[in-house]
Chains A and B, each alone.
Chain A
């Protein structure tokens, strides 16, 4: 698949090696320029992210009314998650290396209702930008005191909280000199299975935002900003950690709303 097929652009492709950042950035710019404002989700057909070329459906999604199991999210409870799983810094024999942080926020549905007692899963690179995953061959050190995986259940107000290490930047092979902005992967459930989502949280002011085709697959700047946590000084703890606040909004649910917010 040559990049010359991308969105009507004619770009010379050197089949012998990866394309440059300039080529990727020009492709991103062209797609963004041809986009109407107001998109809130990533494009699936977004060739600057090369792995998407053969992995996006060509047909439109089919509209259907949810029924049965689609209307009920899986339920998780105290038997599923140990409270210690929300602190990624305590699993090893010693302290992990890096900048200790807390990431805290609320999971809300499309009507602003808190998603209560629901599972949140995260995974991330260590401070050096290395995942423990065997497929990660980036020559940065593993940290024996950091696995980079965590889980928690939201509380009665929809709040989640993780104590972890700020993940490092790391290179990947999408194009020449490609680097991912620092991010934490989040996996989320709502009250319905139709609200299932996986996303990535980013850190404010990351210099790599403009160059990253995964982040830029969301064509609207306002929408992209929804993936960026805010530094929260009130969440920072004296002599201990820095706080980041990030709220997540799922899609709306379909069941008859139960007005239990006053419960």
Chain B
């Protein structure tokens, strides 16, 4: 089949806030439910300012490592886990999700959340990964993490906070710029 040329992306702009967010968008599982974890952090620009008009989406496996293909993300009823969520940032640039920690997609693999980042001023979406802090033995064997220097690598791994939550900041630019990803077949 002939290759079709991808349509260009454009910035999400400043006015998505009344359209894309919806009730329960960031609660893949109810807050505080058994086995839930809060994944949270800030989205920063190149001068370290929090970005108030960014949007993050996560796609993930369940705790067993299986990636759900269940509908219902837009009207969650506390039933099926869909493995997808969306969080806009607040005035300080903070986002949060209530979810479960994903299992590994393959035996011995490093578990991660797949992430898409959107913001006013960002002309096309960016992809990254948020790896769980599962220890150097597993993280060091991950092909992507192994290709990064220590600073970049730490920029892709969530930190475990004292309250058990996972903290991960996205830096669009600057000395702590988050490593962003491109995949085969992306222009």
Contacts and interface: CB of A to CB of B under 8 A. Distances in A.
Interface of A: 39-44, 46, 49, 51-59, 61-81, 108-113, 119, 121-123, 125, 131-133, 135-136, 147-149, 151, 185, 187, 193-194, 196-200, 214-215, 217-218, 223-224, 226-227, 248-254
Contact of A131 (B15, B20, B51, B122): B15
Contact of B71 (A40, A76, A227): A76
Nearest to A117: B71
A77 to B, nearest CB: 3
Tell me whether chain B's interface is mostly helix, strand or loop, or mixed.
Answer: loop
Contacts of B173: 54-58
B121 A49 contact: yes
A185 B14 contact: no
A198 B179 contact: no
B179 to A, nearest CB: 5
B187 A40 contact: yes
B185 A42 contact: no
A79 B106 contact: no
Given A49-B123, A57-B172, 8 more contacts: A41-B8, A62-B147, A65-B183, A68-B112, A110-B6, A113-B1, A226-B5, A254-B184
A155 B159 CA distance: 42
Q: Which 6 A-B pairs have the closest CB atoms?
A: A68-B105, A51-B121, A77-B71, A123-B19, A74-B84, A252-B185
Contact of B184 (A63, A68, A76, A109): A63
A57 B1 contact: no
Interface in B1-48: 1-20, 45-47
B182 interface: yes
A68 B114 contact: yes
A104 B25 CA distance: 27
A231 to B, nearest CB: 18
Nearest to B46: A54
Contact of A61 (B14, B69, B143, B180): B180
Contacts of A59: 177, 179-180
